Structure 1
């Protein structure tokens, strides 16, 4: 009788252990993504950034950090002078196209394709051709860096 009680206790403990281990080790279901690109609040922020860039084109000294959303318009050859940069054009609005200069020495190449949506966090510098977005990568010295989101992947 005593042996049956011990056996039942041991089996109960083993069962509880296995149950706990299963719930501890089993992968959690991935969170349901909440696409920030579709929220009206986020879209308003992108529209404000586009307006800020539209206004900044009138000021050749304009320079500021921003997050933009647009469509890859055209892929350009890499700039290999000095730090290597991937270059492509992004259309923000019918009248606004910016050059993106993404540092390949500090971040992975973005597999961008024309016609695809893209979100870019970086520094905008106005120029007579519409402006340049750069600092689209992490800052190796720990300062504020940027990133590019393309097809649900972040490049920084």
Structure 2
């Protein structure tokens, strides 16, 4: 019962943006709660609820690599499919974080960044550090390497 209550509180707080969902990482897991599933649920609720400006963590498979966006800050862009079958655009700032040169269609990756809803599923951005220190740092893990 205590675990169910803990899960409900964590999901609610993360869903409403009251906690930084990086706290839900497996390295902080002392309860036996499957935080990977919690993170996935938070992301699914954000998509279903058309939420934006929400820090999320998730996993996906690269289904399409798009041309870089070179207007303003440069961004490496690609589409991932998450376990629910929904697709997300990852917009990874390559002026502030290293490019993922080895990225290929079919690769899996983990991400942490800010979710913005759109009718196609949404965009994940802020997958990098903030040099000004005003935004929660994000990251992408691909083939065991962290890009931030």
Which has the larger share of helix? 1
- 1:17-67 CA-partner distances (Å, limit 9, x unpaired): xxxxxxxxxxxxxxxxxxx6xx9x899323333322322224334321111
Indicate if the aligned counterparts of 1:73 and 1:91 stay in contact, CA closer than 8 A.
yes
Aligned partner of residue 56 in structure 1, secondary structure? helix
Does 2:29 correspond to 1:44? no
Does 2:128 correspond to 1:137? yes
> Compared with structure 1, are the counterparts of its residues 113 and 105 closer, same or farther at alpha carbon in structure 2 (3 Å cutoff)?
same
> Compared with structure 1, are the counterparts of its residues 42 and 125 closer, same or farther at alpha carbon in structure 2 (3 Å cutoff)?
farther
- Find the aligned partners of 2:49 and 2:38 in 1 and give their Cα distance: 17
Aligned partner of residue 44 in structure 2, secondary structure? helix
Q: Which runs of 5+ in 1 are unaligned?
A: 1-35
TM-score, normalised to structure 1, is: 0.67
- Find the aligned partners of 1:140 and 1:71 in 2 and give their Cα distance: 29
From 19, 28, 44, give the equivalent of 1:54: 44
Q: Which runs of 5+ in 2 are unaligned?
A: 1-25
Deviant stretches of 4+, over 4 Å = none
Q: Tell me how many residue pairs correspond in the alignment.
A: 119
Larger Rg: 1
2:82 is matched with which residue? 92
From 107, 125, 129, give the equivalent of 2:97: 107
2:145 is matched with which residue? 153
- 1:99-152 CA-partner distances (Å, limit 9, x unpaired): 000001101101211111101111111111101110001110124211111111
- Find the aligned partners of 1:87 and 1:43 in 2 and give their Cα distance: 33
